[in-house]
Amino acid sequence: MKFALRGTCVLLALLLCCRNGKACPSRCSCSGTTVSCQSKSFTSVPSGFPSSTTILYLHNNKLQSLPNGVFDKQTQLKRLILHTNQLKSVPDGVFDRLTSLQGIWLYSNPWDCSCPRIDYLSRWIQKNSAIVKDSSWNTNPDSAKCSGSGKPVRSIICPTTTT
């Protein structure tokens, strides 16, 4: 009887830690549809976010880049908190599948505003200015600033090239 009860407890613990067949990313904590990976000194984005994630905390790390397609399966994401990292640029299209996004925090990153590197992010912020937030959680599309000049990322207009 003790063994059966212990086995049931282990099974229950496994079910509580996993959602949609996926465990919480290593060194992160998960509660409901919120994944908290902040302040863990991550230098790269951890893998294994459940597709049901609606809030993703990745701030106060040492992220230097975002891999292509990193958020492609996070279509239910409503809040993406990326502030206070070492991000200089993002790959083209990295936020395009985040159609449910209601807030994104990009401030306090050393954005490299050279063209064409910053073009995607600048245009994306221009198009999605209503969801870019600052440290007070206010809408502020100018909170993402270029390293060095301090100009808002969205103010950078890269020349278009035709071939």
Domains within the chain, CATH numbers bracketed: 24-163 (3.80.10.10)
Measured from the Cβ of residue 127, the count of other Cβ atoms closer than 10 Å reads 11
Residue with tokens 């230098």: 43
66 or 161, greater pLDDT: 66
Pick from 31, 86, 40, 37: nearest CA to 57: 37
* Dihedral, CA of residue 115, residue 121, residue 125 and residue 127, to nearest 10: 90
At position 140, the amino acid (one-letter code) is: N
pLDDT of residue 162: 64
Task: Give percent of the chain above pLDDT 90.
Answer: 83
Token reading at 133: 């937030």
- Interval 6-21 mean pLDDT: 42
Average pLDDT over the chain reads: 89
Residue 133 parent element (H or E): strand 132-133
The C-alpha angle 130, 133, 136, rounded to 5 degrees, equals: 135
Cβ-Cβ contacts under 8 Å for 32 (sequence gap 6 or more): none
In this prediction the pTM is: 0.84
Cis preceding-peptide flag for 110 (omega within 30 of 0): no
Confidence of residue 7 (pLDDT cuts 50, 70, 90): very low
pLDDT digit string, tens, across residues 63-113: 999 999 999 999 999 999 999 999 999 999 999 999 999 999 999 999 999
| C-alpha to C-alpha distances, 123 to 68, 126, 154, nearest whole angstrom | 18, 5, 7
